[in-house]
Amino acid sequence: MPAAFLYDNTAQSATLASDQANVPSMPLSNIQDPQPRRRVRLNASVASIIADLGANRAVDCAALISTTLGAGATVRARIGNEAGIVEAVPIVGLDFLTRDALPQMAAWTPARGGGGGTGEATYFNAAGNLQIAAAGEYRITHDPVTLERKGVLLEPGRVNGIRNPGFQGAAAGTPGTDPTFMTFGVDVTGLSKQIVATGTDNGLPYIDVRWFGTTTAAGRLQWFMEGGSAIAALAGQSFTISHFYKVVSGTYPVSNGVYVFAELNSGGTVLAQPLVASGAPFSSGTRISAARRFAVRALTNASVAFLRPVWFSDVIGSAVAVDVTIRFAAPQTELGTFATMPMLPPPGTTGATTRAADTGSLAIAVPSNFSLYSEAQHVARLGVNAGAVLHDIGIDDGGASNAFDLRLLDTATLSVDAAAVSAGSFVADFGNANISLGQTIRQAAAYAANDMAYSANGAAIETDTSGVLPALTRFVITQGEAITYLRRLRLYDRRLTNAQLVALSGTGSSLVLAEVTGDTGTIAAEAEDSNQGNVIMTLPAPAVGRYLRIDIENPTAAFTDIGVLSAGGLWRLQRGTAYGIREGRVILDRRDRNPFTGAEFPVPAIANPRFAAFTLPSLSVAEARGQHRALLAALGAAGDALWIAELNDTMAERNRRAIWGAVNAPGEDAAISRDSLPLSSRAFRIQERL
């Protein structure tokens, strides 16, 4: 394929911007005036430059000159309409997968769950250790085993009825005294028990209990959570019991798990109600990380005074030698259909521990048109199919009567939706999208008067063209009976297009693929200092669009310098360069010699610029009277152009041979020679601008 010129640099007069995370320390305007060439510095290994060309322009080539693109660097050029090139920028943009929660939510009120930092709210830190949240802290939590960052933890309000679940006051060899907190027994003839240690394991207060001996009859190991939940007059409600454990030494003698009973004390009469155990049997391990969460049980006796959960191991047969030490931590009994994070009160606490629900609001001047985005994982829910709202993120005016919400609903099939309410009545109620627990859920919705829309997880847009809300004044998070990991949360100050909403709910990005008219794809930069770091990206044919986006990944560098960004339509020559092309360097080194002694004094130049000299022998009449005239008018002697020797060169070879420099020399006759009736010729000598 023949050679080409890029001389109509649309980026030089464009409005330039970079993505928010990588603000330049050397301004973008530098590359609009490359004579003498100045630099832009992008302060990250991943960065973007976005050029607003002001109007639709034809672009089929973009060139970067950067000497800081290192090993593994890649670039990508895209041209298209705004929705395909420019990421919508939120006025509230919270990202809990990459940044801490509390600094981002410092202006939110009330404090997280009303927490006082006294142990009622906990989370797993980046090392997998249990942490007590500080007062008012929104909790970024992690998986205690994989250490995966989960996001902001949102839980319902709960009460842990176990007194002293942190095992304060327990001494080696004896159970703790008042308040009673946990009792360990033996229902196996021939076995003894001993409390051998207390302490903290990965942030969890624990107690180690050893059972040892040889059985002479079948029986069970047993342990109780005593002092239990004062739950009088709570008949018909569900409760969950849980604790953390691991085998410290020995081998657990059974393999089928644990049976659980709930002893409901009613006026001194103990009513034992069996619960179905869940989870795998005990196993050895290095962390207290496996929480045994037992099946939910509804209280059925109206005169219940308190609840005492009781654990029994599987039956151990006779003539079995047992010597096993099991570590227990964070025993918990709570009303609700699922277990929440451990509530660990400070030493000296004797009563039940209460944690309020995680909520929050942010006062903000909500624009008349806006869009909402939420990304979350819901990992537990009420599960009674009552249609309750389990999780709600929205915009309101200080109450629920006027609001626009993204919701999680407790229906027969767990679902998410969006709803707009005015004066307490629905003006829009978008259809439910069924989801599964643990699934990453992205919801995007937009509001304008009589123009609302909603999409979940990239599904087709739902619209409502009738409904008006009054002025709204705050951003709100409300948590019901669910556990949610909130990952990202955004509020935009405009009504995004339907296509942007679908893209946002599908990928987390508002960029619409259909609005991109040209894409070079991701290209290995293969830039070299010796070749001035050229990266030449071309499309097979011109693409028309107003916005140009250059994405740069430069993983081995702390920053990226750009000397030239040139983009526009190529003059693709119909025929190739004449034979006899000369390519090389202008040697500016000095080598003085003393004629008397023969001594030499070499002085290397700062750089020896590349050059190319060639003739275009077969220019058509259209090229001579069209593109060549335009090139002369656009550049003169002051302007530079990009010369690409062969469009079909490999990327690496194209980068090595391409030259950014002056096409015309001052005072020369930059003329076309008419060699025959249909053809003309022109000789060029281009020297690289350093």
The answer to whether 149 and 142 have CB atoms below 8 angstroms apart is: yes
- The answer to whether the 88-157+356-510 and 160-353 domains have the same CATH topology is yes
Q: What is the pLDDT of residue 236?
A: 65
CA diameter of the chain: 122
Q: What is the pLDDT of residue 286?
A: 47
Q: What is the pLDDT of residue 266?
A: 58
| pLDDT 10s digits, 27-58 | 888 888 766 667 888 888 888 999 999 999 99
DSSP for 7-64, written as a single string: ---GGGGSEEEE-GGG--SB-GGGGG--SS---EEESSSEEEEEEEEEEEEEEEEEEE
Q: What is the pLDDT of residue 194?
A: 82
Q: What is the DSSP letter of 235?
A: T
Q: What is the pLDDT of residue 278?
A: 43
Task: For the domain covering 160-353, report its CATH number.
Answer: 2.60.120.260
Which contacts (CB < 8 Å, 24+ apart) does range 254-257 have? 254/281, 254/313, 254/314, 254/315, 254/316, 255/281, 255/314, 256/281, 256/314, 257/281, 257/314
The Cα 7–Cα 644 span in angstroms is 11
| pLDDT 10s digits, 112-149 | 665 777 888 999 999 888 888 988 889 999 988 789 99
Q: What is the pLDDT of residue 576?
A: 81
Nearest 5 degrees, angle CA 173-CA 122-CA 353?
70
Q: What is the pLDDT of residue 177?
A: 40
Q: What is the pLDDT of residue 104?
A: 92
What are phi and psi for residue 206, nearest 5 degrees?
-135, 170
Written out in words, the top-level CATH class of the domain with range 9-87+515-570 is: mainly beta
The amino acid at residue 594 is N
Could you tell me the residue ranges of all domains in the chain? Answer: 9-87+515-570, 88-157+356-510, 160-353, 582-688
Task: For the domain covering 88-157+356-510, report its CATH number.
Answer: 2.60.120.200
CA atoms in the 13 A half-sphere facing the CB of 3: 21
Burial 367-405 (b: 16+ CB within 10 A, else e): beebbbbbbbbbebbbbeeeeebbbbbbbbeeeeebbbb
Residue of 595, 593, 617, 612 whose CA lies nearest to 603: 593
CA dihedral 489, 494, 498, 499 (to 10 degrees): -80
Query: Would you mind telling me the total number of residues written for the chain in this entry?
Result: 690
The Cα 55–Cα 66 span in angstroms is 27
pTM, two decimals, is: 0.84
Low-confidence ranges of the chain (pLDDT < 50): 171-181, 227-228, 231-233, 276-287, 289-290
